[in-house]
Amino acid sequence: MDLHFKIEEWAKQRKSAIFHRQLAVISGPKEWAENQAQSLASMITLSDKETLWVGDKPDKEPPVSPKAYRQYLGTEYATVIFNCFSGISANALMAFSGTIQANGLMIILCPEFNRWPLFTDPLSNSRYSYGFTQVLEPSRFIKRLISMIEEDDDTVIITPTSFSGCNKEVSTAEINRKLNSTTPEQEHLISSILRFRTGHRKRPLVITADRGRGKSSALGLAARTLISKHASHIIITAPNKRNVEQVFAFANIEQNANNQHPLVFVAPDALIEDDYQADLLFIDEAAAIPSSILKALLNKYSRVVLSSTVHGYEGAGRGFELRFKPYLENEYKGWKNLMLKTPIRWYKDDCLEHFWFRVFIMEDSTSGACSDPLIECSNLTPEMSGNKSLAKHSVDYAFIEATKDLLASAPHILKQVFSLLINAHYQTSPDDLLRLLDAFEQRIFACTLGDEVIGVALICSEGGSALSEVSQGIINGSRRVNGHLVAQNLALHCADDAFVKIEQWRIVRIAVSNAYRRKHLASALLTYIEASAKELGITLLTSSFGATPTLLNFWTHNQYLPLKLGFKRDASSDEVSLIVGKPLTDLTATLLKTAQIQFSEELVYHAARYHQSMDTRLLTHLLTHCQPKELGSHTNQRVQQYLISNTPYMSFSQALATYVLHKLTCIECPSQIPQESYILVASLIQFKTTKALVNEFKLSGKKELSTNIKNAVAKM
């Protein structure tokens, strides 16, 4: 049968009936593939407005960049054409697939399958670290994608000489279900929100779902009933006003900035700063809002509904699951969690969603993992003799470097590794899978038990000769290249290009399955990584993470030194970033010694400025890693004078602060930090207000505060 006739018959059938959303891949020369896609789109859509073309178009119109996917969230199209000749982005593929309406089609244009893995991707330069993009070898991600395309019965493949695939029928029961109408799950959710209006206070309601399940529409319908029948006043907040357009649409209310309106959008930070009154607060896309703001809003408002996407195209939803739900469990007993599983914008068992979930290993990313390993006194040390790729312990743990070839050839290992990364870190996204398989600068080290991967560390190579030619530009702030996050940061901060010239590894993420925590595996994995690094001539190990007391204890227990503390809280983790490092040679030990002196001086100087609102326990722990300060006799005399006088502590604050810093820098282990030191750090070093100190330490007032400070100094 003629190829064109086959395609025409398939398109004709698709246009005349209801089928699942599907993927069609057009593989061949660029010009032919683009013309074929244009022809196919005209066969199955009624107008050009129903089609979104991502990447270059045959008619030379200004292209939609794959990087612009955020601008199209919330929109809908019958057909999306993704031109991979213009570059591939995993995040964009996931995001744009969510814009396709029921019975719609996603069309991918790509080179011939035997050529595609070697095709030079126009977006690759922005994807990989500077100095590593010149490595030319077949893309493992593309080879894996091709394999999954060929194995998928629901994907249509069109080449210049062949056509395969068919339209996937929707079950009769699903066809009879009216899309974009409320599902039983939504009706239960709406009823729960209505009951929530008069139920117990301070029992948050959390809604989680994948995209397309109708969270926003359920919020809107509930708001409509609450306003019309109960005259409720509702505030809705989200990272961006565009996020809540569907809520207002289903509530049948136009967005209005007037706070007297029954449903009004207010930005999260404005809600914290100003005094808004509401019967209920809806927080949409809660996963993308810093947890400190979420906690403040829960404290400020009595009835709060939080909505979050589980599988975000940028990974944020998992962060909400991992970091915020445990907080709710501890602080808000009786909080309720409802999950929407049934899609409302497309049919159940949707082919397109299932395909991309399989590709990006999001089908079952719910097994526990943790990126906050507890402080460990590890006596579990990998044996480095014998087979380097498989070092066994007496308890049958094995430590390996999971090479890219191993990950590409062993799907079960790749799935376990990436699932651990998804579950352990709030920002693991589809793009990370692409880099994991193709980025030459990335390495994976893993801890296994039998066939199970129970711990994983993602490593990124930084610095070295590749940066020599741009080193001066980096340290004077005129040049910033892709990747090399810590190397560039330290070089600029310390004004020393040695930080970008030395070969180093940055530990990007480390995760251990929840079932195997507290068994010293994370520390043992670090030990194995260190031995591997030394064998390869790496002279420095670093990491950068959102600082918490637990994480700080873990890294410093493993002899990593604090080197640089950020000033601003990360928007996603709501924590200040901390860079730590461990020297592997005498030369880098000397280099880090200088950086540590600078770290110590800056930490004390900025404590009452940029770090005044920092968690006091974290700052106190950081201060124990500062360079020791000599304590003069005059300071001792002033401290003794304060203890026997009735003079307010502020009159002696400089001497007391010097005394406290001296005591803290003499502490060698976090467990040795006296409990009394926290109130002294908060008052004398951070200079928190009397009101803040009274609240933080649960005191009755100024008098008790003064008494506690004096007692604390005496005990130090």
- Comparing CA positions, the residue from 240, 301, 233 lying closest to residue 264 is 233
Q: Which helix (H) or strand (E) covers residue 581, if one does?
A: strand 576-583
Residue 136 confidence (pLDDT) above 90: no
Q: Are strands 576-583 and 540-546 parallel, antiparallel or unpaired?
A: antiparallel
Residue 57 confidence (pLDDT) above 80: yes
Residue 358 confidence (pLDDT) above 60: yes
**Which tokens sit at 67?**
């990087």
Contacts of 384 (CB under 8 A, 6+ apart): 391, 528, 531
pLDDT tens per residue across span 614-664: 999 999 999 999 988 788 889 999 999 999 998 889 999 999 999 999 999
Residue 322 has what pLDDT?
66
CATH of domain 184-340: 3.40.50.300
Residue 364 confidence (pLDDT) above 60: no
Given a contact cutoff of 8 angstroms between Cβ atoms, the answer to whether 200 and 332 are in contact is no
Residue 314 confidence (pLDDT) above 80: no
Q: What is the mean pLDDT of residues 309-316?
A: 60
Residue 571 has what pLDDT?
58
Residue 312 has what pLDDT?
57
Binding residue positions for acetyl-CoA: 510-512
Binding residue positions: 186, 345, 510-512
Residue 329 confidence (pLDDT) above 80: yes
CA distance from start to end of the chain: 90
Residue 55 confidence (pLDDT) above 80: yes
Pick the CATH number of 369-592 from 3.40.630.30, 3.20.20.70, 3.90.76.10, 3.10.450.350: 3.40.630.30
Residue 631 has what pLDDT?
84
Cα distances from 167 to residues 33, 36, 449, 617, in angstroms, run 20, 18, 43, 60
**In which region does residue 569 sit, left (phi positive, over 0), alpha (psi from -120 to 50) or beta (all else)?**
beta
pLDDT tens per residue across span 435-473: 999 999 999 999 999 999 999 999 999 999 889 889 999
Residue 249 has what pLDDT?
87
The length of the chain is 716
Binding residue positions for ATP: 186, 345
Residue 387 has what pLDDT?
36
Confidence class of residue 114 from pLDDT cuts 50, 70 and 90?
very high
Residue 698 has what pLDDT?
93
Q: How far apart are CA 321 and CA 333, in angstroms?
A: 17
Q: How far apart are CA 35 and CA 24, in angstroms?
A: 15
To 5 degrees, how large is the angle CA 349–CA 354–CA 356? 155
**In which region does residue 74 sit, left (phi positive, over 0), alpha (psi from -120 to 50) or beta (all else)?**
left
Identity at 332, one-letter amino acid code: Y
Most confident stretch, 279-283, 340-344, 671-675: 279-283
Most confident stretch, 124-128, 200-204, 667-671: 200-204
Q: How far apart are CA 244 and CA 255, in angstroms?
A: 9
Q: Which helix (H) or strand (E) covers residue 358, if one does?
A: helix 351-359
Q: Where in the chain is the domain with CATH 3.40.50.300?
A: 184-340
**Helices (H), strands (E): how many in the chain?**
29, 21
pLDDT tens per residue across span 209-259: 888 888 888 999 999 999 999 989 999 998 878 778 888 888 887 766 565
Q: How far apart are CA 141 and CA 123, in angstroms?
A: 14
Residue 153 confidence (pLDDT) above 90: yes
Q: Where in the chain is the domain with CATH 3.40.630.30?
A: 369-592
Q: pTM (2 decimals)?
A: 0.85
Mean of all residue pLDDT scores within the chain: 88
Angle between helix 521-535 and 549-557 (nearest 10): 50
Residue 266 or 518, more confident: 266
Residue 389 has what pLDDT?
37
pLDDT tens per residue across span 156-191: 999 999 999 999 999 988 888 888 778 889 999 999
| Per-residue three-class SS string for 274-286 | CCCCCCEEEECCH
Confidence class of residue 378 from pLDDT cuts 50, 70 and 90?
very low
Q: Which helix (H) or strand (E) covers residue 586, if one does?
A: helix 586-606
Residue 300 confidence (pLDDT) above 50: yes
The DSSP 8-state label assigned to residue 29 in this structure reads -
Residue 386 has what pLDDT?
33
Contacts of 367 (CB under 8 A, 6+ apart): 419, 423, 513
φ, ψ for residue 587, nearest 5 deg: -65, -45
Contacts of 184 (CB under 8 A, 6+ apart): 342
- Comparing CA positions, the residue from 708, 665, 701 lying closest to residue 683 is 708
Residue 466 has what pLDDT?
83
Residue 382 has what pLDDT?
36
- Out of 336-345, 393-402, 406-415, 678-687, pick the least confident: 393-402
Write out the DSSP string of 196-216.
HTTS-TT--EEEEE-TTS-HH
Q: How far apart are CA 361 and CA 34, in angstroms?
A: 29
Given a contact cutoff of 8 angstroms between Cβ atoms, the answer to whether 352 and 137 are in contact is no
The DSSP 8-state label assigned to residue 253 in this structure reads -
Confidence class of residue 613 from pLDDT cuts 50, 70 and 90?
confident
Residue 309 has what pLDDT?
78
Residue 148 has what pLDDT?
97
Residue 426 has what pLDDT?
61
Residue 422 or 691, more confident: 691
Residue 113 has what pLDDT?
98
pLDDT tens per residue across span 408-417: 999 999 999 9
Residue 135 has what pLDDT?
59
Pick the CATH number of 3-170 from 3.40.50.10330, 3.40.1030.10, 3.40.50.720, 3.40.50.11040: 3.40.50.11040
Cα distances from 365 to residues 120, 310, 420, 435, 458, in angstroms, run 32, 10, 8, 19, 18
Identity at 206, one-letter amino acid code: V
